[in-house]
Amino acid sequence: MKHFISVDQLPVKDIYNVLRRAEYYRLKDFKLNHQLFVANLFFEPSTRTKMSFIVAQRKLGLESLDFHSESSSVLKGESLYDTAKTFEAIGANMLVIRHELDDWFDQLKGKLSIPIINAGAGKAEHPTQCMLDLLTIYQEYGTFLEVKVAIVGDIKHSRVARSNAQALQKLGAEVYLCAAPGFEDEELGMPYIPIDKAAEICDVMMLLRIQHERHVHQAETSNYLNLYGLTKEREQKMKDNAIIMHPAPINRGVEIDTELVECSRSRIFKQMANGVYIRMAIIMELLEEWGIINENNFKERKAFATVK
Ligand code: CP
């Protein structure tokens, strides 16, 4: 992969390569001995993605170039393209970009000579979140085949839903969708079921935040938890080994009862921890692909492999 933009572009074997590599970095420290710079260009707010990219970069021994769009020359009208070209010119070896446009990558495609990672594209894709979610599910079940996953919530406005639904289906999971009226996205082509049914039959309840910032009209949420969210009553109907996931940030008490956020089934904070290892793996895959580094420890990584 030249750039990491969409999970759709990734063959199954490349997905497993990234998962395997992330597991290696989870189990073993690894640091590069080169001075390389990674620019983190976040044009939308972020806590987890941005900070876990920075931790991943520092663990790998890379120099993180921080960028705050609200105090940058974006305020003087500089475009995404000119901002990206500027970081390339001053020596960035890689760009990590989050932007509100679904298709921001089209502005940069073929025009830069450094790798780019998509850290969130509008409502379209969040491929690094998808990969850390896949790692979390794999750690739990050791396979994706026939694992039943319910993606629950504001599907229509969620880039996480889109990336995860496509990738999970490609890997052989059974994907179900649950959404309040108006939050469906029929383009995904996957079956919708009521949340009560999903809680009973699924191995993974993957909840989504209501994306208020992407709504034209403010959504009414006073009774959302009871009607469409994961209540304690629904959690009690879940299978013994079923788990709860959420990409966060969480609207506690809206899409999930606040007591369930840290219950024994919850993998929400484990997802965040996995985000560091997945992002280390993606960064390294791209640096190698572009010949910027040659890690050359494939055999050692294979010996550590816990992902088949
Ligand atoms: N899950 C996620 O993308 O969180 P942030 O918006 O905080 O990065």
Instruction: Output the CA 43–ligand 1 centroid distance in Å.
Output: 13
Rounded to an integer, the average pLDDT of 241-256 is 96
Query: Positive or negative CA dihedral for 232, 238, 243, 246?
Result: negative
What percent of the chain lies above the pLDDT cut of 70?
99
Residue whose Cα lies nearest atom 4 of ligand 1: it is 48
What average pLDDT is seen over the chain? 94
pLDDT score, position 218 = 76
Residue 127 in contact with ligand 1 by CB distance below 6 A: no
**Model confidence band, residue 296 (pLDDT cutoffs 50, 70, 90):** low
Among 83-87, 94-98, 133-137, 187-191, the least confident range = 187-191
pLDDT at 142 over 70: yes
188 closest CA partner among 164, 153, 212, 214: 164
Residue 48 tokens, joined: 């987890």
Domains along the chain with CATH numbers: 7-126+271-305 (3.40.50.1370), 129-267 (3.40.50.1370)
CA distances from 139 to 3, 91, 143 (A): 26, 37, 8
Helix 127-141, helix 159-170: angle, nearest 10: 50
Q: Is the CB of 248 under 6 A from ligand 1?
A: yes
- The distance from CA 38 to its chain's CA centroid, rounded to whole angstroms, is 19
User: Taking Cα atoms as reference points, which of 114, 184, 121 lies closest to residue 156?
Assistant: 184
The angle, 0 to 180 degrees and rounded to 10, between the axes of the packed helices 268-289 and 48-59 is 50
- Sheet with 63-68, strands from edge to edge, namely 63-68, 37-42, 94-99, 116-121
Q: Give the whole-number percent of the chain exceeding pLDDT 90.
A: 87
Tens digit of pLDDT for each residue in 93-128?
999 999 999 999 999 999 999 999 999 999 999 999
Query: Is residue 199 predicted with pLDDT exceeding 90?
Result: yes
DSSP SS3 for 167: helix
Nearest atom in ligand 1 to 98's CA:
8
Task: Name the token pair of 53.
Answer: 């990219």
47 Cβ below 6 A of ligand 1:
yes
Q: How far is the CA of 247 from the centre of ligand 1 (A)?
A: 7
Q: Indicate the pTM of the whole model.
A: 0.95
Q: Is the CB of 129 under 6 A from ligand 1?
A: yes
Residue 293, by phi and psi: left (phi above 0), alpha (psi -120 to 50) or beta? beta
Query: In this structure, are residues 80 and 43 in contact, taking their beta carbons and an 8 Å threshold?
Result: yes
Identify which of 42, 47, 162 to mutate to test ligand 1's pocket (most ligand atoms within 8 A of the CB).
47
pLDDT tens per residue across span 232-242: 999 999 999 99
Confidence check: pLDDT of 291 > 90: yes
Nearest-atom index, ligand 1, CA of 44: 6
Q: 212 pLDDT band (50/70/90 cuts)?
A: confident
pLDDT at 295 over 90: no
Classify the C-alpha dihedral 289-145-131-29 as positive or negative: negative
From the CA of 44, how far away is ligand 1's center (Å)? 10
List the beta bridge partners of residue 97: 41, 118
| Ramachandran assignment for 146, one of left (phi > 0), alpha (psi -120 to 50 degrees), beta (any other) | left
Q: Could you tell me whether strands 94-99 and 63-68 are parallel, antiparallel, or unpaired per DSSP bridges?
A: unpaired
| Residue owning the nearest CA to atom 1 of ligand 1 | 247
CA of 108 to the centre of ligand 1 (A): 23
From 64, 63, 65, 58, select the one nearest 25 (Cα to Cα).
58
Tell me which residue has its CA closest to atom 5 in ligand 1: 46
